[in-house]
Structure 1
Amino acid sequence: TYWNATEEERQKIEKKIAFYVQSSNLSRKESLDKLYKTMATIGQKAQERGLTPEILESLLNEDD
């Protein structure tokens, strides 16, 4: 997951996402700010619905 990634991996992810978000004419900083806000909102909603870090890790490690 993003939060378990190394700093280098996070920067790569951020650059890729920023590139796609910039297509809406936002600056890189604005794009990253928007990304972080969206991620925080998603995380908050997931916690409100009962998702814990342990449950998330279990879901991410499931084999299909």
Structure 2
Amino acid sequence: MSQKIKIETEFITLGQFLKDVGIISTGGQAKWYLQDNPVKFNGELENRRGKKLRKGDVLVIDDESYEIE
């Protein structure tokens, strides 16, 4: 089952997303988290903390699925 994550702006960055859902506690941890943990963005591996996430995008992190709304 995927979690639905609602955003109020046109996009958020992957680093901000990780912070918002509680995977990391500060934005500075995003770089290190992404180096050590696979994150799938729309089925492809992604490791750029500045990657823009928009409505309709799907992320899979630690076997948990997140859909941006």
- TM-score by length of structure 1 reads 0.29
* Structure whose residues are more often helix by fraction: 1
- TM-score by length of structure 2 reads 0.27
* Structure whose residues are more often strand by fraction: 2
Q: Rg larger in 1 or in 2? A: 1
